[in-house]
Amino acid sequence: MATETAAADHGAEGGGLVFHPMDQFIVKPLFGEGEVHWYTITNVTLWMALAVLAVFALMVMMTSRRATIPTKGQSIAEMAYGFVYKMVEDVAGKDAVPFFPYVMTLFMFIVFANFLGLLPMSFTTTSHFAVTVVLALAVFLTVTIYGFMKNGAHFLNLFWVSSAPLPLRPILAVIELISYFVRPVSHSIRLAGNVMAGHAVIKVFAGFAAIAIISPVSIVAITAMYGLEVLVAFIQAYVFTILTCVYLKDALHPGH
């Protein structure tokens, strides 16, 4: 949302409505101008570091007293722990518990990146396909590699629907195979798409605020969208995590 004022300025200069809803997603070097190399410290670095710090603050600093009767902060940390732990156990099964820290990492990163992205002027790291594709591919590769390691060739039973009539099975196998490889695509685009769309819509409403008559409507609309975005921020983190658990279940129990 870094360009809110910039967009307003543009509108004032041009005398009309100028929207820059996507400017908030631009990756910029944090210090000075110039090329963005892979090692450059950018706004991505800043907001990811803040997410790491937020995770550290909640999960480590809030629990430092290890109180049997928890404080508010410790309760939140414990709720997050219980929420994801139960999800892993219920969806992926008891034997998926070794993956719990991994799933927890994904959940905590996404949920904090989403919520930090809702701060005005912030940069939303999870709105970038570069980020979500890596997250989704990591899950995809983990599931595929672990599935083959644990089950060997039996992992291919995932595509061979033994409960279907025999003539249908090859067709189903093709469909299952395609759906399997579409998983990382949908997994990543769902998260980035939702976050990006919401932020862009807010910015478009903000652009309309340049017209005095419309601005109250615009502000109400921004407020409403913001409320929706708060929901989306959590729900998308939840969806990403639960889909990870569903995919892990396939790796652990490939039979239908």
Partner 1 sequence: MATSTGDGLADATGVAEHGASAPGMPQLNFDHWGNQIFWLIIALAAIYFILSRVALPRIGAVLAERAGTITNDIAAAEDLKQKAKDAEAAYDKALADARVEANKIVAETRAEIQADLDAATAKADAEIAAKAAEGEKAIAAIKADAITNIETVAKDTAAAIVAGLGFSADDAAVSKAVTSRMKG
Binding site for partner 1 (CB under 8 A): 10, 18-20, 22-23, 25-27, 36-40, 42, 44-45, 48-49, 51-52, 55-56, 59-60, 63, 66-68, 70, 74, 77-78, 81-82, 100-102, 104-105, 108-109, 125, 127-131, 134-135, 192, 196
Residue 243: CB atoms within 10 Å: 18
Q: How far is the CB of 221 from partner 1 (least distance, A)?
A: 20
* Residue nearer to partner 1 on the CB measure, 57 or 178: 57
* Residue nearer to partner 1 on the CB measure, 45 or 215: 45
Residue corresponding to tokens 């025999």: 166
In sequence order, the β-bridge partners of residue 29 are 42
* Residue nearer to partner 1 on the CB measure, 41 or 171: 41
User: 89: which DSSP letter?
Assistant: I
Per-residue CA distances from 95 to 89, 91, 231, 248 (Å)? 8, 11, 31, 10
Contacts of 2 (CB under 8 A, 6+ apart): 23, 24, 43, 121, 122, 123
d(CA 36, CA 27): 8
Dihedral sign from CA coordinates of 187, 191, 192, 196: positive
* Residue nearer to partner 1 on the CB measure, 86 or 154: 86
Q: Which amino acid, one-letter code, is at 162?
A: S
* Residue nearer to partner 1 on the CB measure, 105 or 157: 105
* Residue nearer to partner 1 on the CB measure, 37 or 94: 37
d(CA 55, CA 109): 8
